[in-house]
Amino acid sequence: MNNSFLRVSIWVYLVIFFLYLLGPLVIMSVTAFNSSAFPRMTPWECLTFQWFGELFQDQRILNGIKNSLIIGAGTVVLSVAMGLAGALMLTQIWPKLRATYYTIIIAPILIPGVVLGISTLVFWDRINRMLGLGADSVLSNGIFLTVIGQSTFIASYCMLVLVARLQRYDVALTEAALDLGATHAQAFRKILLPFMRPAIASAAVLAFLASFENYNTTTFTFGEYPTLTIELAQKVRYGITPAISALAFIIVALTVFFALLNEAKLKRQELVAAARKKATVEELAGKIKLPSFFAGNMAAVLLVVFAVATITVVGTATAYNPGQCIANVKEQKRLEAEQRIQELRKQREEQRKKREAEEAQQGGAQQSAPKPSNNSGFGNVFAPNTLGGDTEEESSEPETPPSNNGGFGGAFDPNSLQTDQ
């Protein structure tokens, strides 16, 4: 009993955990399809694809993507090269230096990105000044600085990935190649590199993604070349629109797609390997019977479902026109607003009556009191209801009675000043 209770609670915990992890992404993706001008899921207004159109017309976003790709490519080349050199050095460095060396090349992972960005900026600015170059030299160029700054720590990630595979490399292979007359460069290119290729590929993907999403370092170094992340941050900080959700949806969809693709491929390789192990010699010699792509491969099934869903969505997007629905929602909002105005007016009317009655009473009591129609210099600017956000609604209503319930009350009514004196 105790055991089953534990099992249930761990599943409940898993569900809550993954809700926390994935829920925000799902909600953000959903808001990309709501026609509300502020990204929100409730109240749901209309299914729309307009935010995607808006996204693709945004020059700053497109320019940011271009810069991100250039910087990403530079960072991948530099950090994989440095990571590989660093990993090779780690396997053959003088033992006394090893611990120090390892600490130095692992440190950039732990140094806050802000610090890396600042130190890169300060250092290259100084080099630039020492060489007597102007402010427009290569060394103060945003792309150069960003690539350098990001590579500082991304190379450490690459080094960790590469060294894991390098540790399984048999140095005898290189020695054999050298004995057979290969030069060092040939042995490196033909023996070591092919062995390292899977790790190099993962390091390159990791480096590109890390570069693409980096914010802390880039924000100090980008200069005149804002990356996509920088542009996004600017947009998110100064007013958010569902166009950002649309971009997020695209990124989430691409990520899920490639994750599933990779998983399906891995699983397939495993299944093929398992089938080979079981197969008899004749089967191997003849035709290798490949297991069907889907058999026991959940990721592949999900992948196909996902692709079909994408095609359906894109298909609907081209055929679907939310114009009618948006018009309906607008109409509804207008009606609501009108209703609210009516209510406000009624409230005002009642208040006015009440006040008049009160003032009449007071007037009866104190003869010296001013005339009841007079509402001081500020009109009812300070009346709590005036600030209730009705100013813009009322300004759009031409037939608002010119009495005293505009935003400024009777302040600009010349009569009120006169009567005041």
Q: Which of 8, 15, 18, 377 binds other proteins (CB under 8 A)?
A: 18
Report if residue 120 touches other proteins, rule: CB under 8 A.
yes
Say if residue 43 is preceded by a cis peptide, omega within 30 of 0.
yes
Q: Within 306-335, which residues bind other proteins (CB under 8 A)? A: none
Q: Which of 118, 139, 275, 317 binds other proteins (CB under 8 A)?
A: 118
Count how many Cα atoms sit within 13 Å of the Cα of residue 126 in the half-sphere of its side chain.
5
Specify the residue, 79 or 375, whose C-beta has the smaller distance to other proteins: 79
Which of 57, 73, 60, 56 has its CA nearest to residue 224?
Answer: 60
Contact 151, 80 (CB under 8 A): no
Report if residue 294 touches other proteins, rule: CB under 8 A.
no
Contact 126, 139 (CB under 8 A): no
**Residues paired with residue 34 on neighbouring β-strands, in sequence order:** 47
Specify the residue, 46 or 210, whose C-beta has the smaller distance to other proteins: 210
CA–CA separation, 76 vs 78, rounded Å?
Answer: 6
Q: Which of 10, 201, 308, 314 binds other proteins (CB under 8 A)?
A: 10
Q: Which of 50, 63, 70, 119 binds other proteins (CB under 8 A)?
A: 119
CA–CA separation, 306 vs 311, rounded Å?
Answer: 9
Specify the residue, 47 or 104, whose C-beta has the smaller distance to other proteins: 104
Specify the residue, 32 or 46, whose C-beta has the smaller distance to other proteins: 32
Q: Which of 37, 47, 109, 305 binds other proteins (CB under 8 A)?
A: 109
Which of 140, 118, 134 has its CA nearest to residue 219?
Answer: 118
Q: What is the DSSP letter of 138?
A: G
Q: How far is the CB of 61 from other proteins (least distance, A)?
A: 12
Report if residue 86 touches other proteins, rule: CB under 8 A.
yes
Q: Within 64-83, which residues bind other proteins (CB under 8 A)? A: 81-82
Q: How far is the CB of 42 from other proteins (least distance, A)?
A: 5
Specify the residue, 85 or 311, whose C-beta has the smaller distance to other proteins: 85
Q: How far is the CB of 209 from other proteins (least distance, A)?
A: 6
Report if residue 148 touches other proteins, rule: CB under 8 A.
yes
CA distances 171 to 37, 190, 195, 197, Å, are 62, 14, 11, 16
Report if residue 166 touches other proteins, rule: CB under 8 A.
no
Specify the residue, 7 or 353, whose C-beta has the smaller distance to other proteins: 7
CA–CA separation, 243 vs 50, rounded Å?
Answer: 9
Token pair for residue 419?
Answer: 């009567």
Token pair for residue 328?
Answer: 């309906």
